[in-house]
């Protein structure tokens, strides 16, 4: 394991939602967008791989490598958009999306246990960038949302 990888990338799990080749492909796709659109990005799961490949800092929303404030936000189940504003994020990268009509519901940390506290967000604006699934029948791997100033 490379020391720059953080969060769930360092955990040994008995199952995977996204296998490592997809994770690298996702990071490569996001990196190209991030180079063309500089700013502060926030992401939960897979943020370590994306940060390593893109060479850009990312606000890690899982709390594993964040500051005490992030842990407090997760523990108090703070609304995700308020947390993104606190860290002055320009973009939010969402993975494993749940749809409600034209909107997307997200939780961070995404892989929290069933009784663990999470931050919730609701995004209805169109995504600035879509990382498609590896095949046409697969849902998008990630959406990038621009955040208001």
* pLDDT tens, position by position, 72-107: 999 999 999 999 999 999 999 998 777 778 889 999
pLDDT given at position 118? 94
Q: What is the pLDDT of residues 35-51, one digit of tens each?
A: 999 999 999 988 989 99
For residue 134, what are the CA distances in angstroms to 49, 92, 95, 125, 145?
18, 21, 14, 24, 20
Q: What is the pLDDT of residues 102-139, one digit of tens each?
A: 889 999 998 888 899 999 999 999 999 999 887 788 88
pLDDT given at position 46? 86
| Cis peptide bond upstream of 114, omega within 30 | no
pLDDT given at position 10? 47
Instruction: Give the side-chain half-sphere CA count within 13 A for 74.
Output: 23
Residue with tokens 């849902």: 139
Residue pair 145/128 in contact (Cβ under 8 Å)? The answer is yes
61 DSSP assignment: T
pLDDT given at position 41? 97
């Amino acid at each position: 394991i490379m020391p720059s990888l953080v969060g769930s990338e360092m955990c040994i799990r008995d199952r995977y939602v996204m296998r490592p080749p997809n994770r690298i492909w996702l990071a490569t796709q996001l990196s190209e967008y991030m180079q063309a659109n500089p700013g502060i990005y926030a992401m939960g799961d897979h943020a370590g791989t994306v940060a390593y490949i893109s060479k850009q800092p990312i606000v890690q929303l899982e709390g594993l490598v964040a500051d005490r404030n992030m842990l407090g936000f997760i523990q108090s189940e703070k609304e995700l958009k308020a947390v993104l504003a606190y860290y002055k994020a320009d973009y939010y990268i969402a993975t494993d999306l749940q749809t409600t009509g034209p909107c997307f519901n997200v939780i961070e940390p995404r892989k929290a246990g069933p009784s663990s506290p999470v931050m919730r967000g609701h995004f209805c604006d169109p995504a600035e960038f879509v990382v498609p699934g590896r095949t046409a029948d697969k849902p998008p791997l990630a959406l990038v949302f621009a955040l208001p100033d």
